[in-house]
Chain A
Amino acid sequence: MNPELILNKAVADLVRSLHVCPEQRDRSLLLSSAYVTLLSIVLAQSRRTGSSSIQFAIVRTSVGTHARCIDVAFLSEVHEIGDSVTHVC
């Protein structure tokens, strides 16, 4: 059994949706369902109380021939958050 594969594939699906049109890196990306879903998932995670804003990154890792490599595949905008906001709908 390999349930982690479903989780990895789910994130990969969302990230691939973000990269469908890499030339369209304008702010319209913020309205895509993939971006909003990722932001919703990130917002739902527990965070330090008193946080005023949130930003997320998607990193690509590999464990190939050398030491573990990490590079940033996507960096979100900084979003202000209020105490009452817990969902993006």
Chain B
Amino acid sequence: MFANPDLLVSRLLFVGLIIEAFEVFRLRRFFDDDDMFSRSAVAILTGAARWPIRIGARVGGSRAVTVAMAGQAFAAILVIVEGTDTRTGIFSALICLITNGYLRARLQIGSSGAEQLTFIVLVTFGLVILAGGTDGARRLGDAFIAAQVGLAYFASGVSKVVSPIWRKGGAMTGILSTEGYGISSFAKLLARHPEVDRLLCWSVMGWEIAFPLVFVAPKLLMIALLTMGVVFHVFCAVVMGLNRFVWAFCGCYPSVWATAMLLR
């Protein structure tokens, strides 16, 4: 991702930043006073937080958030066009780091793992540039992101395995029955065929726990694990509406690939 900036797949994460900008733009009125993400509401949540968070949470209403998201969308487009190895691309990616950091401080609630991973990648990129942006620094940045992704999948898989509803099956039906994350017709289908639910549950758990093997497995298995990841995230995007995870996690696969190749 950082070590191979010429590859288009190394820029997938920035597609997610454009989508985020448009999503937040659609929600801009919620940043007005007296609404869900108003400064007063967010100030309550950050009362005990460190000072940079407290300041970020209280700066700017809907207009400031709109400007920040417009800047993020524009900067992310530039990164997609330029890559992260040109002066314009580097500067644009750092703009994304600033706007995304501001949004995280200003939003406080409503973020998912996709936003967390995206911010971690942007901070890592900032550190890579701070370290001189050399090949070594970029490879180290890739290794950190790859380890982060491997750990995220593994931890998620283990947390599911210890849950009886995931082991026995039924978790997928439960999730897809919710109004926020579900498609009722699919939930009904799974309820009629619990064995399919159990199969899906164990497929997800097995793949997540096995994911760290990408770093040591033969190339064919590595490609299979990454392909399963793409299928999993696209499925979650289509069925559950978790669109940002595709760009955040699959956007980090170039780092996983580069690190796995380095370890061979």
Contacts and interface: CB of A to CB of B under 8 A. Distances in A.
B218 interface: no
B24 A6 contact: yes
Contacts, number: 94
Interface stretch (A19-27, A61-69, A76-84): A61-69
B44 A1 contact: no
Given A1-B19, A5-B180, A62-B178, A41 B110 contact: no
B188 interface: yes
A36 to B, nearest CB: 5
Interface residues of B, number: 39
A5 B241 contact: yes
Given A3-B26, A33-B47, A64 B35 contact: no
Interface in A17-59: 33-34, 36-37, 40-41, 44
A10 B110 contact: yes
Nearest to A62: B177
A9 B241 CA distance: 12
Interface of A is mostly: helix
Nearest to B242: A5
Interface string B123-139: 00000000000000000
B4 interface: no
B59 interface: no
A63 B110 contact: no
A2 B36 contact: no
Contacts of B188: 64-65
Contact of A65 (B40, B44, B191): B191
23 contacts: A1-B23, A5-B242, A6-B23, A6-B27, A7-B27, A7-B110, A8-B180, A9-B109, A10-B107, A10-B110, A13-B109, A14-B109, A34-B45, A37-B44, A37-B45, A44-B34, A63-B178, A64-B173, A64-B177, A64-B182, A65-B188, A87-B40, A88-B44
Interface of A: 1-10, 12-14, 33-34, 36-37, 40-41, 44, 61-65, 86-89
